[in-house]
Amino acid sequence: MKNRNGILALAILAAAACGKQGEAERAAPAAPPSSGAAAKGLEDHSGELRRDVVAVTDSIAVAIGFGLGNSILVQGETCAFIIDTTESREIAQAISAEFDQLTDLPIEAIIYTHNHADHVFGADVFASGRDIDIYAHETTAGEVNKAVNIIRPILSRRSARMFGTYLDAGDNGFINAGLGPGLGVTGPNGGSIGYLPPTITYSDRLETEICGRKVILQHAPGETDDHTYVYLPDENVLMPGDNIYKAFPNLYTIRGTSYRDVVKWARSLDAMRALGAEHLVPSHTRPVSGRETISDLLTAYADGIRFVHDQTVRGMNMGMDPGALVEFVQLPPHLKNHPYLQEYYGTVRWSVRAIYDGYLGWFNGDGAALNPPTRRARAAAMAKVARDQTTLADAAAEALAADKLALAAELATLAIDADEDANRARALKADALAAMGYQSISPNGRNYLLTQAHELRGNLTIKEIPDERSIAFTRAVPIANFMASLPVNLNAEDALDVERKVEFRFTDTGEVFTVEIRRGVAIVTPAPADEPDLVVETTSLVWIDLLLGQRRAGVAIATGAIKFPGGLGDAAAFGDFMKLFRVT
């Protein structure tokens, strides 16, 4: 779809509200000795971000380290095109001068891999005032508009903090920005904006020819929903945008973002791996060559994302809140130590919180958090506890007597967490929650608070006990849905040394699924396995009943409801496989 109308009215990204202070006023304190390893790691990582123009092939080059993002030049027969344009005119001009040394072909097209500023704000430099084609996903322009017009003020302030815009360089301040040497679009040293809106957009997939080159644009949700990977099939070169770079993925960014669907991100990585690319040219950090090396990198990156997602959901279903989850979800050593999963950009802990919020929202499940006390009230109460040298439980009782119910519930929660007079604290919290429930005109809030008060008093326990109606309903659910639930029920700690492929053949529906256990991660695909370690034949109803606890595996095997084409000797292997899962 072509669109040459409606140029977006860009609001210039503002610098952070506070001006740059004098050196003496904002001199940073000396970094503590314990921070040395982190600073050394970041300094070493700066080598990955060094300024360079790398020739990937005779006709493809990538500019690295000029700004936060890379820019990629592809030379065709009669013209050339650019993939991603970095974050400012000034940076784009420096890159353009380097590209001019490589070719005198005119730039006739630009491809945006996604909407982020460090990929789109240098565009008009490469266009050179000419009316050229600009390719992007159909939602990219809207996402740019949201960032620069709707939430610009808050995004600018938080971005300035996240990218260290106002920090001095050095061990006590700014070292790098993780994906590049720095962000060159905001703050006192920021550049100007040269964004051009897309003129050719697509929805799912676009196969086209640009400058005589066959080009495939594929929608690949990941770091953003509008993400595009660019594939040149004749050269077997893949440009993944920001769906992989040499740092732990930014499954959540602390500058602020909508929920990033990490399941789709992992699937996009699977799709890219299936291409068998010979060259990988990301939009941050350096290119990689070698089909096997690239396949291994994409596999590890997808496994890292899946592990964090699946174990977060597993912990949620076990009843953990975000505070408990960030302690529970830890990458296993083979992923934690992988060079592409070092936390130079995203972190596991932030990702866990984002996944929780993506599924359940801001509420952590504790009634005390529904209408919490103000920060001032909380601070005053804690100061009083310290000043009077009293206990948290005593402070909770005092707040309850004063009808400060939210404060009483929070102080009692802290006492429980500290195991300080915990039985008394539970009773105080129950009284506070019940009182808040009686005062609530929201039935949702009232019922939740009163129920939790009963739980704290030991009057009831919520259990999911399947009845005939729920079982009948569940049996009608497509078998694909049940198979898809297996990864979030994997006991990862028991599977860290397991590499196994199990093929399931459902004789009643004709469907075939493969469950691959790959060192703490389970991947389910609706297709036969390539060289399976175990093949299981059964019906969808038998499998569903087995997962629901309505049928025993041993009985199903003995009666022939579950069969093993490889022989009954595979029954033990099937039992070992089932022990890896906690099915809810």
* Residue ranges per structural domain of the chain: 367-457, 468-578
Give the whole-angstrom CA distance, residue 23 versus residue 264: 46
pLDDT at 59: 97
pLDDT at 184: 83
CA-nearest of 75, 69, 8 to 242 is 69
- At position 463, the amino acid (one-letter code) is K
CA-nearest of 229, 72, 265 to 137 is 229
Confidence band for 403, pLDDT divided at 50, 70 and 90: very high
- What single DSSP character describes residue 583? -
**Which residue is associated with the tokens 């899946």?**
306
β-strands 511-518, 133-137 pairing: unpaired
The b/e string for 48-80 (b: 16+ C-beta within 10 A; e otherwise) is bbeeebeebbebbbbbbbbbbbbbbbbbbeebb
pLDDT at 187: 62
**Which residue is associated with the tokens 């720095």?**
182
pLDDT digits (tens, 9 = 90+) for 320-373: 999 999 999 999 999 999 999 999 999 999 999 999 999 999 999 999 999 999
Stronger pLDDT, 190 or 268, i.e. the higher one? 268
Q: What's the whole-number average pLDDT of the chain?
A: 92
Give the whole-angstrom CA distance, residue 427 versus residue 415: 11
pLDDT digits (tens, 9 = 90+) for 3-29: 433 333 344 333 333 344 444 345 555
pLDDT digits (tens, 9 = 90+) for 67-87: 999 999 999 999 999 999 999
pLDDT at 188: 66
pLDDT at 30: 63
For the chain, the distance separating the N- and C-terminal CA atoms, rounded to the nearest angstrom, is 46
pLDDT at 581: 92
Cross-sheet strand order for the sheet of 213-219: 205-210, 213-219, 228-232, 237-239, 279-280, 288-289
Domain 468-578 has CATH 3.30.1050.10: yes
Least confident stretch, 30-39, 169-178, 493-502? 30-39
**Which residue is associated with the tokens 């936060």?**
68
> Which residues touch 493 (CB under 8 Å, ≥6 apart)?
520
Residues 542-547: what's their mean pLDDT?
92
Give the whole-angstrom CA distance, residue 256 versus residue 208: 35
Stronger pLDDT, 153 or 265, i.e. the higher one? 265
Contact 282, 70 (CB under 8 A): yes
Tokens of 146: 């949201």
Neighbours of 464 (CB within 10 A): 6
Contact 314, 582 (CB under 8 A): yes
> Which residues touch 511 (CB under 8 Å, ≥6 apart)?
479, 480, 526, 540
Q: Please state which architecture CATH assigns to domain 367-457.
A: Alpha Horseshoe (1.25)
